Amino acid sequence: MGDNRVQALDRAIDILEELSRQPDGLGVTGLGSVLGLHKSTVHRLLNTLMHRGYVEKNISNDKYRLGLKVIELGQSRLENIEIRKEARPFLKNLMKLTNETVHLSMMDNGEIVYIDKVESLNTVRMCSRVGLRAPVHCTAMGKAVVAFWPDEKVRKIIKEKGLVRKTNNTITDYEKLLVEFDLIRKNGYAVDNEENDPGIRCVAAPVRNYSGEVIASISVSGPSSRITKERIDELASKAMDTALNISRQLGYRGNI
């Protein structure tokens, strides 16, 4: 089967994805340099995206950023994810029980994606946002999902994404990761022990659909000064109870 992609559309998507990584925006020259495109091409594409509301221009510095239309589409997609609607009350309750930030995530294209968040009331909190993507091998939420997936499927993800070292605690050896997965399946929860961000510790549990397949995960996250190793058992128990309740809402009738 041949490549039927439309080049102009491909380039426009490249621009949107690059702007999503640039909170301060980029100018025409900067975008052209990063994407390897001529300035005239970038300018034409930006004008079209601006006309449709997907890109905005900051007239004070001539830099471009994502427009509100992107947020509108993303929000529409999130609102149509059934699990997000079903999980929301349980996420709020888990935050109240732990007074720590709670996330709901799903897998997409070999990465974990935050699809909902209930912020802790603590003044010191972890930095995260809905829509954020993160690797599976160094996040509790990622490990809590793929630990229950077929080995062949996991190997494919690791082959494509690699085992990038994010901190001194990141597991970068696949055999050691498999040992970690065995422990997760045994315990029913996963831990990110400052493996993705220094000073941040997370505890996550898997969420299953009606057939028992692990399709998502929830996590309790915060500074390691509060999410101490001594609190892990307590937080894991609350996270697993919450994950099971969400799974029940999705039709699951087994045990986590």
Residue 122, pLDDT score: 64
Q: Which two tokens stand for residue 212?
A: 């028992």
Residue 35, pLDDT score: 92
pLDDT in tens, 63-86: 999 988 887 777 666 555 678 888
Please tell me the pTM assigned to this model: 0.70
Residue 1, pLDDT score: 44
Enumerate residue ranges in the chain where pLDDT < 50. Answer: 1
Spacing of C-alpha 152 from chain mean position: 22
Residue 45, pLDDT score: 93
Burial string for 43-75 (b: 16+ CB within 10 Å, else e) reads eebbeebeeeebbbbeeeeebbbbbeebeeeee
Residue 92, pLDDT score: 96
